Amino acid sequence: AQKITQTQPGMFVQEKEAVTLDCTYDTSDPSYGLFWYKQPSSGEMIFLIYQGSYDQQNATEGRYSLNFQKARKSANLVISASQLGDSAMYFCAMREGQGDYKLSFGAGTTVTVRA
């Protein structure tokens, strides 16, 4: 079974508007972590934001925030005030268990910001 599901293959957003990228996950482990990475056309994976399963508050990092709904097993990324440089592929990923560090990635969502 897929551990991470990203159902939006591509999205368009107007500059300065907000965009929400969907991510649902599947795990039976009570301890896990959720990540979002950005991959521009250059190929490098850039870490954006992290949410631990026991964190009480939704994570925020500058213009990025993670809408963590534990009961629904969703971890959507919200990018506020989109900029042209936000055009990239975005991946949701999960780490399961306390001692396990490998990441399972979704298929990604391509975001294109229009001027």
Partner 1 sequence: DTGVSQNPRHKITKRGQNVTFRCDPISEHNRLYWYRQTLGQGPEFLTYFQNEAQLEKSRLLSDRFSAERPKGSFSTLEIQRTEQGDSAMYLCASSPRAGRTHTQYFGPGTRLTVL
Interface residues toward partner 1, by CB under 8 A: 4, 33, 35, 37, 42-47, 50, 52, 91, 93, 95, 101-108
Q: 67 or 104, CB closer to partner 1? A: 104
Pairwise CA distance, residues 52 & 24, whole Å: 15
Q: 88 or 95, CB closer to partner 1? A: 95
Q: 11 or 107, CB closer to partner 1? A: 107
Pairwise CA distance, residues 61 & 41, whole Å: 22
Pairwise CA distance, residues 83 & 105, whole Å: 25
